[in-house]
Structure 1
Amino acid sequence: MTTRLTLLLSASLICLGLSPARAAIDHPDTAHPDPAHAAHPAQPIERTSSGTITIDGKPVAYQAVAGTLVVHPHGWDDSDETVQHQTPGSDAHAIDGNPDATASMFYVAYFRKDSRPDSRPVTFIYNGGPGSSSVWLHMGAFGPRRVVTNDDTHTPASPYRLIDNPQSLLDVTDLVFIDAPGTGFGRINGKDKEKLFWGVDADGQAFTSFVSQFLAKYGRYNSPKYLFGESYGTMRSAVLVNDLQNQENIDFNGVILLSQILSYDNSVDEPALNPGMDEPFVLALPTYAATAWYHHKLPQQPEDLKAFLAEVEHFASTDYLAALQQGAALPDADRARIVERLHAYTGLPADYIRRADLRIDGGEFSKTLQSDDGMTTGRLDTRFSGPALDPLSEEAGYDPQSTAISSAYVSLFNDYVRKTLNYGDGLTYRPEIDIQHWNFHHAAGGGTESDGPANVMPDLAEAMKTNPTLKIMLNAGYFDLATPYYEGVYEMRHLPIPTALQKNIEFRQYQSGHMVYANIPALTQLHDNIADFIRRTDNQPAPGSSAP
């Protein structure tokens, strides 16, 4: 089981599954030109700037704040004299001498200037990994400036283009992009620092501390509040919203999820290492079908993708699931019938499907679908293709989307944060870090820790039951093989909540991949759907009405 989780972690590192970073996790260089760092190492280091962005034809003036907040492991007591010297909000250098584990978390916050903080929504945004900064959502989705990349092919090398982003969410909410401990300009230090910050529960507590501090620092306790997580960030959101509501007594208006995975048992990455668990094959089948449709690999090409996927979803959850559950007892005639249906829905050779015992592995699908063309199919976004590294290997050796767009994101953010946000001169920004020993053991809802793969469905369920006004929005791309869209639907429909609370969950799907926002029409839809969700759930009086 550990091997399977390690493979999944490496394959889906950061929200978009980039190859694991090899940078060491240490302090920034102590020699740097920023005099504020050197002169006042124990003081909060922040940089402010201003800008204006036009959204839906209307100008939005904003202030940007780039800085760090210091967080401590769960159970830390701020009255402890041994750590009183620690100043919340201080830069990474201020934690060097602390013998206790401490983390500085980098953030960039955007505040609309012409709004009242007590009534203005605020949304906390982060990617996943584990081990990712928020650079992808920041520069690709909702920040006021956006990276330009090719839709489904490799983006040429620099110079890259950074443009105003009319799909920024600043029209409806203030935005706080948070980098996980150890990523971005943040650092972790002290005794047992990895153990105390790198794990499902430890990470949730770090983010809980960050959000609580941020609300206090900027006077936003009474603002409508939202969480937005992508990929592993959806797992973080389930833990985080439950911790915030039931430990800190801070209710949230909504949780917005993008490319969801709440239970690693449902992952289609190396599912053969977990024999007897057939759900991953069922939940990935609609994504296989969408991918084969996109690349015109189906024996019969349907015109209507949504209608086709509805048919595949029904087959997956009925005949296909029933066949897999029979295992070796499945009659030969039924097996042959299922093989033909899988061939019709995936375009994969019938002989391959038989040899795979009807169970199609995600990595093998990526390698096999376009193998006759010498191409590997993308995992995070199956619309992407790239030359196969090893034509004889069983699985894809890399993800074509990651290699196609990562350089543009990282290069432009490093320019933007220094030249526009005025932060980071002399420091190293880490968009991702290689975490080899993430603790996936999880105490669901604060109960007994489980030794199995992480499953945070109970946490989200508890958050919804203890705050029955909490609204959930699940967004997913049809062409995402890292976290298949039907997996998210399945998890939501199996939350241990009263049936009446299912009405608090809504679903949106897009003709894009894991990073839904990498496709501009999908990004436009994503913005409009989320803006509508926030307007409907922020508990503000309707325009023209008076407050009660």
Structure 2
Amino acid sequence: MKSGLSLIALALAVAVPAIVHAADQNDKAKAEKPAADVEPQIHTTKLSGTFGGQRIDYAATIGETILKNKDGVPEAAVVTTSYVKEPRDPSRPVTFLFNGGPGSGTVWLMMGAFGPKRVAIPGDGTDDGAPPYPIVDNPDSLLDATDIVFIDPPGTGFSHLIGKADPKDYYGVTQDAKLVAEVIRRWLNENGRWNSPKYLGGESYGTTRSAAVANQLMNETYNDVALNGIILISTVLDFAAGADTPGNELSYITNLPSMAVTALYHGKATAASPEAFAEEARQWAIGPYAAALLKGQKLQGEERAKIRRELARFTGLSETYLESADLRVTPGRFYKELLRDRGLTIGRLDSRYTGKDYDNAGETPDNDPSFYGIDAGYTAAINSWARDTLGFKTDREYQSIGSIGSQWDWRLGGRDTNAYLNVAPYIGQALRENSGLRVLVAQGYYDFATPFFAAEYALSRTGIPQDRIEYEYYDAGHMMYIRDEDRHKLSADIRAFIRAR
């Protein structure tokens, strides 16, 4: 197959050199166009809807914020989509939201959870099929409680770098956080909202970004934007907790509770409820299992056999398989092995989803059924909404999941490049230095991308006040809002969090 594609590519290259040359010249001309000529595109549409039981008139504004370098040369066009209740109220809460990746556009949170419209796709573990996809009113939008601003950093959504901008200045944990912090301050300036209660939130890597942006707003670059709340949806703060690297025992511990509830869901384990089994798995993972893993090859005899039996009970895997894996099962192997006897794999983003591979012999799945089961519907919805309803005009493709992650600088400031990434201390400092700040952590039980126990572990470390951190759990995966019941709950939980300030 690859060789056939190569021959086709070669034939096209030989047959149409003039077209290729013209395209190159066109790209060169675009790159050489003076960056100063860039004019931001901004469109506002007046709409109304019912959210949280309230009828609300609102202005939907999609537009570009142009960021410049120190010499005043434009380098980035950042697209934000804001929904602001009318008449405008400067004392009303405003919430800034983004997705993760890095490289993911805000389509997921906007068209799945909190925007005034959402795409209606199945939430029961089946795929979204083919278009047309229903774009429906979303009464679970937060507009009755807060204005909302969705931010797409460069390389996500329609946002992009301009001219000769160097990706290294924008694609990284700290670089990205500085940019988002600047966009937020610009929005506050332009909309007269400096004295509004302010909330910051993200999903997945967006939670990493939330911690880093909070650090920029309150501690590093600006020191002048106090936040009322940080909303962490499907949290990843301490990357060592999920690093499936030989020798790192921590990930086996933090993944074990997710394996347990997944085994229970698919009928491979027995327990009174997911909540009860999750708690039992937490205690066993952090206790006997952690101690056993730290003993390494010194774990022998009946002590090893007892751990193996309990591990089989929690994971639904055979003792024979667990022994072959040296009592250490990576998530990738778990996805393939749990339902191998049924010829099925399970999802990473949502382990309730099942898929069927090319064959049943592999060690890991061909793909993630919980992602390919939803991606087309979301992409169609955001393009229809932004282009057709909100009037955004561009020939750029919307990047729902872009490729900038391969260029990402994961270092924090001047820290050693060999040090693992952990932004949880940013949350701790923010809580210690702002007595009015609270944190909401929302986790799906069936999420292996950002396991719930890993989130709990990261936020339980030294230096992080515990009295202003709230946890909520959902019977779904990474994108818990796909399931109607959990979207209702997530919306109610966040609404209550904002109103409790």
TM (norm. structure 2) is 0.90
AA in 2 matched with 1:224: P
Provide closer, same or farther for how the CA distance between residues 28 and 121 of structure 1 changes in structure 2, counting only shifts above 3 A.
farther
1:68 aligns to 2:64 (yes or no): yes
3-state SS of paired residue (1:244): helix
Which residue of the other structure, out of 181, 184, 198, is the alignment partner of 1:211? 184
- Structure 2: state its 5+ residue gaps: 1-25, 31-35
Which residue of the other structure, out of 94, 101, 109, is the alignment partner of 1:122? 94
Shift of 1:466: 2.2
**How many angstroms apart in 2 are the aligned matches of 1:153 and 1:201?**
38
Shift of 1:334: 1.0
Which residue of the other structure, out of 364, 374, 378, is the alignment partner of 1:409? 378
3-state SS of paired residue (2:66): strand
Residue by residue over 1:416-445, the C-alpha shift from the partner in whole angstroms, topping out at 9 and shown as x without a partner, is 1111111125443222211222111113xx
Shift of 1:215: 1.0
> 1:507 is matched with which residue?
471
Residue by residue over 1:96-118, the C-alpha shift from the partner in whole angstroms, topping out at 9 and shown as x without a partner, is xxxxxx1111110000113412x
Residue correspondence of structure 1 range 71-82 to structure 2 within 5 A: 71-72=67-68, 76-77=69-70, 80=71
> 1:284 is matched with which residue?
255
**How many angstroms apart in 2 are the aligned matches of 1:478 and 1:406?**
21
3-state SS of paired residue (1:221): coil
Contact 1:29 1:427 in 2 (8 A): no
> 1:229 is matched with which residue?
202
Shift of 1:190: 4.4
**How many angstroms apart in 2 are the aligned matches of 1:242 and 1:363?**
33
AA in 2 matched with 1:137: L
1:264 aligns to 2:246 (yes or no): no
3-state SS of paired residue (1:170): coil
After the TM superposition, which of the residue ranges 137-146 and 194-203 deviates more from structure 2? 194-203
Contact 2:52 2:141 in 1 (8 A): no
Contact 1:28 1:428 in 2 (8 A): no
> 1:250 is matched with which residue?
225
Contact 1:458 1:496 in 2 (8 A): yes
**How many angstroms apart in 2 are the aligned matches of 1:261 and 1:389?**
32
- Structure 1: state its 5+ residue gaps: 1-26, 32-39, 87-94, 96-101, 538-548
Provide closer, same or farther for how the CA distance between residues 357 and 135 of structure 1 changes in structure 2, counting only shifts above 3 A.
same
Shift of 1:71: 2.5
1:107 aligns to 2:96 (yes or no): no
Which residue of the other structure, out of 248, 261, 284, is the alignment partner of 1:315? 284
> 2:343 is matched with which residue?
374
Contact 1:68 1:105 in 2 (8 A): yes
Residue by residue over 1:326-365, the C-alpha shift from the partner in whole angstroms, topping out at 9 and shown as x without a partner, is 1111132111111111111111111111111111101110
**How many angstroms apart in 1 are the aligned matches of 2:358 and 2:87?**
53
Provide closer, same or farther for how the CA distance between residues 343 and 165 of structure 1 changes in structure 2, counting only shifts above 3 A.
same
**How many angstroms apart in 2 are the aligned matches of 1:239 and 1:56?**
31
> 1:196 is matched with which residue?
169
**How many angstroms apart in 2 are the aligned matches of 1:495 and 1:399?**
35
Contact 2:259 2:315 in 1 (8 A): yes
**How many angstroms apart in 2 are the aligned matches of 1:138 and 1:294?**
29
Shift of 1:484: 0.5
> 1:545 is matched with which residue?
none
1:481 aligns to 2:448 (yes or no): yes
Provide closer, same or farther for how the CA distance between residues 161 and 254 of structure 1 changes in structure 2, counting only shifts above 3 A.
same
**How many angstroms apart in 2 are the aligned matches of 1:136 and 1:28?**
31
Which residue of the other structure, out of 414, 425, 438, is the alignment partner of 1:471? 438
Which residue of the other structure, out of 434, 450, 459, is the alignment partner of 2:403? 434
Shift of 1:57: 2.7
AA in 2 matched with 1:464: L
**How many angstroms apart in 1 are the aligned matches of 2:107 and 2:442?**
19
Residue correspondence of structure 1 range 335-484 to structure 2 within 5 A: 335-435=304-404, 436-443=406-413, 448-484=415-451
Residue by residue over 1:205-253, the C-alpha shift from the partner in whole angstroms, topping out at 9 and shown as x without a partner, is 1111111111111111111001111111111111100110123111100
Identity of aligned residues (%): 37
Runs in 1 of length 4+ with deviation above 6 angstroms?
A: 27-31
**How many angstroms apart in 1 are the aligned matches of 2:114 and 2:27?**
28
Residue correspondence of structure 1 range 166-181 to structure 2 within 5 A: 166-181=139-154
Provide closer, same or farther for how the CA distance between residues 30 and 212 of structure 1 changes in structure 2, counting only shifts above 3 A.
farther
**How many angstroms apart in 1 are the aligned matches of 2:164 and 2:482?**
40
Provide closer, same or farther for how the CA distance between residues 389 and 103 of structure 1 changes in structure 2, counting only shifts above 3 A.
farther
Give the length in aligned residue pairs.
467
3-state SS of paired residue (1:202): helix
Provide closer, same or farther for how the CA distance between residues 419 and 263 of structure 1 changes in structure 2, counting only shifts above 3 A.
same
Contact 2:40 2:66 in 1 (8 A): no
Shift of 1:323: 0.7
Provide closer, same or farther for how the CA distance between residues 124 and 56 of structure 1 changes in structure 2, counting only shifts above 3 A.
closer
AA in 2 matched with 1:474: V
> 2:20 is matched with which residue?
none
Provide closer, same or farther for how the CA distance between residues 190 and 56 of structure 1 changes in structure 2, counting only shifts above 3 A.
closer
- Pairwise CA RMSD of aligned residues? 1.9
Provide closer, same or farther for how the CA distance between residues 148 and 495 of structure 1 changes in structure 2, counting only shifts above 3 A.
farther
1:137 aligns to 2:109 (yes or no): yes
**How many angstroms apart in 2 are the aligned matches of 1:140 and 1:71?**
29
After the TM superposition, which of the residue ranges 181-190 and 126-135 deviates more from structure 2? 181-190
